[in-house]
Structure 1
Amino acid sequence: MKQSPRVLGRPRHDENAKPTKDIVLETATRLFIKEGYKNVSMDDVAKACNVTKATIYYYYPTKGELYTSALIAMMDRIKLSILQILEQSKPFKERLEQLVEIHLSATIDIDMKNFMKEAAINLSEDQLSQVHASENRMYQTIERAMEMEMDKGTIRKGNSTFFAHTFMALMSVGYFKDGDGNRLFQTEAIAAKEIVEFFWLSVQV
């Protein structure tokens, strides 16, 4: 039986290998984290993946689309991690501490503020809308947890959106370094304890 010709430009696919599209996205994300949007070209991504530039363009027609996908994938992973921690049965305050510690440890090399700044400058309105929708889904995971704890009486009644955004803003303090590069907190565990304690004072019943 004659084999159907490949669609023009479609990369060859090994059924036992990791999908090329996933490899491209993971590699590009690492490059964007390390070098920033402007300093990473599609050619750089192709070389790092050991594929042709045509392969990159087959999956991601523009660098903006690749950057959008990288941001969304990153926030989706963060959302999943948040959900897994918050669904545990341990006391809410302990879950929040674990969330901060794990989040800081896993994202210490990721400057989300800079990622979003570069997105605002370089992405189209539609791409930005996709990124913000993913960001909102991440916050909504925390909002729902806040609402559940309000209903249980663990924390005081209030605006869950405000609580969630305040908590995430406080968490970002864990990345702070002074002009000499010294961290505000020596370890993620210390940061988690201090941040959650500060947050807890404002939401406790």
Structure 2
Amino acid sequence: MDKLHAQRAPGRPKQNEQNIPLQEIILRQAAFLFMENGYEPVTLQQIAKICKVTKASIYYYFENKAELFTASVVFMIQLAHQSTLRYLEEKDDLRTRLEQIAKAKMMHAHVDMETMLREANPHLSEEQFGRIRKAEIDIHISLAKHFQFAMDQGSLRSGDAMFLAHAFSALVMLGSRKHVIEHNTPQEDLPQTVVDLFWDGIATQPQHRK
């Protein structure tokens, strides 16, 4: 047991009736609130209330709001990474797999990640911010490996696989932002539109610089 836990009141917070660890419940609910509202508006009291626990239970696991924010965002990104890997490892062609990734991301679109991180950054330590960025980079590494494999197989033209991973993620993020802003507009074709733009570019046919 680490020093942080050892210093706290005896008696570990109980698990819920479904035997889901309380720490995981807190992480999931905190991630939802932060992604819906951003960093500043969310309080530990709100998180405790939605989890049906006391603030003391929150403090049992997390030293402060910044640490809970970091842990919950990393947890959320890791879940997204697992989902991305599942789609990437399916047997469909790469383009179809990318559409599935984009669709899954947009189905769970919330506040813009970069906006949220800019807002939270003054409250986070360098180490905490680094943990979040590393979790994001891990997704890009997984995407880049599959892009590189497609290049090696000749189904994608040669290029910088990591750059493609960042470019794809950026387009999906823009699509997610459009989905949030225009939530009353039919969005069924948006994942395909995003992947089409990534895959085919914007020219009607290949063009060369003069």
Instruction: Please tell me the TM-score bracket, short chain as reference.
Output: 0.7 to 0.9
Which runs of 5 or more residues in structure 2 are unaligned? 1-7
Return closer, same or farther for 1:115/1:64 CA change in 2, 3 Å cut-off. Answer: same
Aligned twin of 2:163? 162
Aligned twin of 1:19? 21
Return closer, same or farther for 1:45/1:88 CA change in 2, 3 Å cut-off. Answer: same
Q: Distance in 1 between matches of 2:51 and 2:87?
A: 33
Deviations 1:72-114 (A, max 9, x none): 0111011111111111111111111122112211x22242122
Aligned twin of 1:191? 190
Secondary structure of 1:47 counterpart: helix
Return closer, same or farther for 1:130/1:176 CA change in 2, 3 Å cut-off. Answer: closer
Q: Does residue 149 of the first structure (1) align with residue 130 of the second (2)?
A: no
Aligned twin of 2:128? 127
RMSD: 2.4
Q: Does residue 58 of the first structure (1) align with residue 66 of the second (2)?
A: no
Count of residue pairs the alignment pairs up: 193
Q: TM-score under structure 2 normalisation?
A: 0.82
Q: Distance in 2 between matches of 1:145 and 1:177?
A: 27
Deviations 1:153-175 (A, max 9, x none): 11011101111111111112213
Q: Tell me if the contact between 2:37 and 2:111 (Cα under 8 Å) persists in the aligned partners.
A: no
Could you tell me which of 82, 93, 96 is aligned with 2:95?
93
Q: Distance in 2 between matches of 1:195 and 1:119?
A: 28
Return closer, same or farther for 1:149/1:185 CA change in 2, 3 Å cut-off. Answer: farther
Aligned twin of 1:3? none
Q: Distance in 2 between matches of 1:120 and 1:91?
A: 39
Secondary structure of 1:74 counterpart: helix
Q: Tell me if the contact between 1:104 and 1:174 (Cα under 8 Å) persists in the aligned partners.
A: yes
Return the letter of the residue paired with 1:33. M
Give the CA deviation at 1:183: 6.2
Return closer, same or farther for 1:45/1:163 CA change in 2, 3 Å cut-off. Answer: same
Q: Tell me if the contact between 1:171 and 1:195 (Cα under 8 Å) persists in the aligned partners.
A: yes
Q: Tell me if the contact between 1:174 and 1:191 (Cα under 8 Å) persists in the aligned partners.
A: yes
Q: Distance in 2 between matches of 1:50 and 1:15?
A: 10
Alignment of 1:37-56 (within 5 A): 37-56=39-58
Which runs of 5 or more residues in structure 1 are unaligned? 1-6
Q: Tell me if the contact between 1:150 and 1:156 (Cα under 8 Å) persists in the aligned partners.
A: yes
Q: TM-score under structure 1 normalisation?
A: 0.84
Aligned twin of 1:4? none
Q: Distance in 2 between matches of 1:109 and 1:183?
A: 11
Aligned twin of 1:200? 199
Give the CA deviation at 1:43: 1.8
Could you tell me which of 55, 61, 74 is aligned with 2:76?
74
